[in-house]
Amino acid sequence: MCLAIPMKVIEADGPFGKVELEGVKRKASFQLLPDVKVGDYVLIHAGFAIERINEEEAKKTLQLLNELALAQEEK
């Protein structure tokens, strides 16, 4: 199973840039999404932005991931 994490683009310089989630910043490749812009939300998998999503969808997905993590901790 593969997992892609929603992150916000904070820097974009051609095919590379940086994304951020809850204060954690990572380098990312935008080669698959050449028209990505600062402020966009993207799904990151293995260091690559693979899809652009809207902010609402990003927040919903992150909420679900947090709920899953909490459920795992309770076991």
> Tell me, what's the pLDDT at 72?
83
The answer to whether the beta carbons of residues 50 and 4 sit under 8 Å apart is yes
pTM, full prediction: 0.89
> Tell me, what's the pLDDT at 21?
96
**So what CATH class is 5-74?**
mainly beta
Low-confidence ranges of the chain (pLDDT < 70): 1
> Tell me, what's the pLDDT at 3?
87
Closest CA to 40 of 62, 57, 23: 57
What confidence tens digit (pLDDT) does each residue in 24-44 have? 999 999 999 999 999 999 999
